[in-house]
Amino acid sequence: MTAALQNYKARMQRVLDHIDHHLDDGLDLETVSRVAAFSKFHFHRQFAATFGLSVYRYIQLARMKQASNQLASADTQSVTDIAMDAGYDAPDAFARAFRQRFGQSPSSFRKSPDWEPWLVALGPLDNARNKLMQIIFDHTDVAIRDVPPTPVAIIEHRGDRATLGDTIQRFRAWGRAAGLSAETNPTFMVFRSEREPAIAADYSMDLCVGTDQPVAASDAPMKAGVIPGGRCAVLRYPGNSNNLEPAALYLYRDWLPASGEEARDFPIYCQRRLASIPEVPAHEVVVELFLPLK
Domain range summary for the chain, segments of one domain joined by +: 3-130, 139-292
DSSP state of 88: -
Based on its alpha-carbon atoms, the radius of gyration of the chain, rounded to whole angstroms, reads 20
Q: Are 189 and 207 in contact (CB under 8 A)?
A: yes
pLDDT of residue 285: 60
Find, among 60, 59, 50, 58, the residue nearest to 132 by Cα: 50
pLDDT of residue 281: 46
pLDDT of residue 184: 79
pLDDT of residue 277: 43
Q: Are 271 and 291 in contact (CB under 8 A)?
A: no
Q: Are 86 and 62 in contact (CB under 8 A)?
A: no
User: Residue by residue, what is the 3-state secondary structure of 117-142?
Assistant: HHHHHCHHHHHHHHCCCCCCCCHHHE
Protein fold of 139-292: Multidrug-efflux Transporter 1 Regulator Bmrr; Chain A (3.20.80)
C-alpha count within 13 angstroms, C-beta hemisphere, residue 225? 15
CATH architecture of 3-130: Orthogonal Bundle (1.10)
pLDDT of residue 282: 45
> Is residue 232 exposed (0-12), middle (13-18) or buried (19+ Cβ within 10 Å)?
buried
pLDDT along the chain (294 residues), means of 10: 76 87 84 88 87 89 90 80 88 92 91 81 79 70 95 95 87 88 84 88 94 90 95 82 79 93 95 55 68 95
